Amino acid sequence: MSDNTLVIEPRKSLLKLDLRELWNFRELLYFLVWRDIKVRYKQTFIGAFWAILQPFFTMVVFTIFFGKIAKIPSDNVPYPIFSYSGLILWTYFSSAVSNSSNSLVGSSNLISKVYFPRLIVPLSSAISAAVDYFIATSILVLMMFYYGIFPNIQIIYLPIILLLTFLSATGFGLWLSALNVKYRDVRFVLPFFIQLLMFLTPVIYPISFIPEKFKWILYLNPVGGLINAHRALVLGQEVDYLYLLSSIIISFLLIITGLAYFKKTESFFADII
Amino acid sequence: MSDIAISVENLGKCYQIGELENYYTLRDSLTDIVKYPIKLILGSGEDEKKPEIEFIWALKNIDFEVKHGEIIGIIGGNGAGKSTLLKILSRITTPTEGKAIINGRVGSLLEVGTGFHPELTGRENIYLNGSILGMSKTEITQNFDKIVDFAEIEKFLDTPVKRYSSGMYVRLAFAVAAHLETEILVVDEVLAVGDIAFQKKCLGKIEDVSKEGRTILFVSHNLSAIKSICQKGIYLENGIINLKGDISDVAKKYEIDQFSKINSNKNDKIEHLENTELGLSINSVTANIKYENYLKNLEIKINGKSKNKIKKMGISLKIKTIDNILVCHLWPGHLKSIINDLQGEWSCRFLCNNINKYLAGGEYLLDIILLRPKEHDGQLLTAENIIRIHIPPDDVYNSGGSFYLHRYGLVPLPMTFNITKENH
């Protein structure tokens, strides 16, 4: 049989992650990401400025309520830069999770009319959400100069943390987007779930703030260790490697099971979406 | 490489219908989990309240082969399984049984403009849509000028498509699709878009494509288009193949079946048709050909009844071909076919002398619309495809052969012919 012979058969239970096919469709992934980015701030008045405004004002509110009024400690760093350095990565994570969870249902017309590896849809959503992160870092740089806090050489590991956060968000995204095709409950659970997860993530408080006997809850959080490490790298502090490792392990569990569930259910997406 | 492009063996697709087709929410799954052990313990003493799950085979036992370079028309009524077949062949959905082997890259056009984003410009959408359809970026760039040319939108290339007229939108969408350069093309009813001039252009494009030796699977309700483009046909009916083979045979079988469906309980005379609200009914309609002085006259008679008094009722006639091409729509204003102060039984007659002079011999369908003249929503009673009219073919040009619809067209124009020869 020649190279481009294709056999269409009922789905076998065998799980196969067709990476070569995914690679063949890389241009589509690129165009979908490009579309998301292009369209995001179309017909808004202040455009991409929203990507700065949102985390910035959240940081202001957090500083007033948690930093000043509740007096939550911030590991000897001024509270604004402490919370902002956590917030921007958290914002990326949460929007990547929610965008990719809604991505399949949102592109139902594509899925019922054209063939391509379905994986591309949640992936492109998780990737395009990163633009806001990069825009928001500009404020972080300004704040560093203002407070005179600078990262050390460890900052070179930052891309790895970003990649891991992407994987962690994608793990959630694969699970939730595939579930969303069948159970529209996801749409209602999602905002609630993300809000809850934020309180279990060291965004507004340092991990040292949590009593020893409750720390294990934080260790189960796939993104907590990443946010903690992100902050440490940016502010030139010591990274909590144990916490980071546990987050990485949980993230990988999520993405492997998410991939398996996604591949198992994708063949009937077009029938029930 | 073998000369077979597509080979389909015993393909079938089964859908669940009934309750389960609605969104099955998480709650339902959870309650099922809770209910299950209870049912195990208590036994299912009561009547099962499980929703009825029905299975329906959208396709069953489909077998066929397509050689490279062949153009296959797939015809069949609504719900015959045409789209399901195309969806399986373009891998959008998986079959329940059987298999299909495809040699070559498949491009599928199940809808024009899939993935168009209203906020993006024409230029951007060409790239986006092209890549969704499976073209590479270099392919799109190579064909870019041709696409823009075909769509006739040069001036609006940098305008968001949400500002396009629907005609421009559809033209652009088709233009991108038409430049998909895969060896095998799967096309679903994309010609049902745009105005007639553009439809012609699209058909022409498909014909061009077919001459390049590519394999095309083509679904359409437009029989004349299918007949002019395809060599072979597959006639699907209720999910199974009714007939496959030469397109002319397949199309003929389909037409005959459609006919007998329309006429199954009519036989040139219709059952009582009534608008109960108004008490208005059509009791019989007949169409006869009367021979008079070697000429054929078409006579249409309608009998009806009105219980209530209707001040003014117009009778409108619509004659169509089997392919649903309108031949003539006579409004009450045209023939003054208006009845005043109508109550009780009524009958009327339409007559056309020497019908062969105007219309080719063949089969036609008749619609009757009763309406209040000069009112917009004044329809009182509509009877679509109420009877079939058979106009016997005639040797209009005294050429020794009859002029009939399927071969020579609708109208035997009273054309004349002259030669002027200039001798030098």
Domain extent listing, chain B: 57-262, 273-408
| Cα B81 to Cα B12: distance, rounded to the nearest angstrom | 10
Residue B209: predicted pLDDT: 79
Q: Following DSSP, what letter does each residue of B308-338 receive, concatenated?
A: EEEEEEEEEEEEEETT--EEEEE-HHHHT-E
- Name the nearest CA neighbour of A113 among B135, B110, B182, B180: B110
Task: Report CA torsion sign: A241, A243, A246, A252.
Answer: negative
For residue B246, the cross-strand partners are B232
What are the b/e assignments for B109-147, b being 16+ CB within 10 Å?
bbbbbbbbbeebbbbbbbbbbbbbbbbeeebbeebbeeb
Distinct helix (H) and strand (E) counts, chain B? 10, 16
What is the arithmetic mean of pLDDT over A213-222?
87
Q: Are B295 and B274 in contact (CB under 8 A)?
A: no
Any CB–CB contact under 8 A between A218 and chain B? no
Residue A38, pLDDT > 50, answer yes
Instruction: Tell me the chain B residues in contact with residue A34 when contact means C-beta distances shorter than 8 Å.
Output: 128
Residue B190: predicted pLDDT: 62
| Cα B231 to Cα B252: distance, rounded to the nearest angstrom | 14
Q: Among A22-26, A81-85, B420-424, which range has the highest average pLDDT?
A: A81-85
- Name the nearest CA neighbour of B225 among B201, B249, B241: B201
Nearest CA in chain B to A42: B119
* Helix, strand or coil, per DSSP, at residue A211: coil
Lowest mean pLDDT among A39-53, A90-104, A242-256: A39-53
Largest CA distance in chain A: 72
More confident residue, A177 or B390: A177
Query: How do B240-246 and B273-275 pair as beta strands?
Result: unpaired
Contacts for B277 with CB less than 8 Å, ≥ 6 apart: none
Chain A, 179 to 208: residues with Cβ < 8 Å from chain B are 182-185
Task: Report CA torsion sign: B60, B64, B68, B72.
Answer: negative
Whose structure tokens read 């917030």? A87
For residue B296, the cross-strand partners are B291
Q: Are A181 and A105 in contact (CB under 8 A)?
A: yes
What is the arithmetic mean of pLDDT over A10-28?
78
Give all strands (DSSP E) within chain A, no chain letters: 5-8
Summarised one tens digit per residue, pLDDT across range B121-134 is 999 999 999 999 88
Residue B21: predicted pLDDT: 46
Instruction: Tell me the chain A residues in contact with residue B128 when contact means C-beta distances shorter than 8 Å.
Output: 31, 34-35
Summarised one tens digit per residue, pLDDT across range B69-86 is 888 999 988 788 888 999
Summarised one tens digit per residue, pLDDT across range B17-41 is 655 445 556 666 777 777 666 666 6
Cα distances (Å, whole numbers) of residue B14 to A10, B95, B202, B242: 11, 8, 34, 19
Q: Are A84 and A143 in contact (CB under 8 A)?
A: yes
More confident residue, B375 or B385: B385
**Mutant choice from B2, B20, B23, B94 vs A, greatest count of A C-beta within 10 A:** B94
Residue A1, pLDDT > 50, answer no
Closest Cβ–Cβ partner in B25, B94, B103 for A10: B94
Compute chain B's Rg from CA coordinates. 28
Residue A180: predicted pLDDT: 93
A31 with B127: Cβ contact below 8 A: yes
What is the arithmetic mean of pLDDT over B161-172?
87
Please state, rounded to an integer, the average pLDDT across all residues of chain B: 82
| Cα B5 to Cα B201: distance, rounded to the nearest angstrom | 27
> Is B273-408 in the same CATH topology as B57-262?
no
ipTM for the complex?
0.87
Instruction: Tell me the chain B residues in contact with residue A10 when contact means C-beta distances shorter than 8 Å.
Output: 94-99
Instruction: Tell me the chain B residues in contact with residue A43 when contact means C-beta distances shorter than 8 Å.
Output: 119
Any CB–CB contact under 8 A between B356 and chain A? no
| Cα B399 to Cα B356: distance, rounded to the nearest angstrom | 14
| Cα A49 to Cα B1: distance, rounded to the nearest angstrom | 57
Q: Which CATH architecture has domain B273-408?
A: Distorted Sandwich (2.70)
Nearest CA in chain A to B84: A271
Residue B204: predicted pLDDT: 80
Closest Cβ–Cβ partner in B95, B100, B108 for A114: B108
Summarised one tens digit per residue, pLDDT across range B303-362 is 888 888 888 889 999 999 888 889 999 988 888 888 888 888 999 999 999 888 899 988
Instruction: Tell me the chain A residues in contact with residue B102 when contact means C-beta distances shorter than 8 Å.
Output: 5-8
Q: How confident is the model at residue B264 (pLDDT cuts 50, 70, 90)?
A: very low
Any CB–CB contact under 8 A between A270 and chain B? yes
Q: Are B136 and B101 in contact (CB under 8 A)?
A: no
Residue B24: predicted pLDDT: 57
Residue B271: predicted pLDDT: 55
What are the b/e assignments for B329-349, b being 16+ CB within 10 Å?
eeebeeeebbbeebeeebeee
A112 with B92: Cβ contact below 8 A: yes
CATH fold for domain B57-262: Rossmann fold (3.40.50)
Q: Among B139-148, B183-192, B375-384, B401-410, which range has the highest average pLDDT?
A: B139-148
Residue B141, pLDDT > 90, answer yes
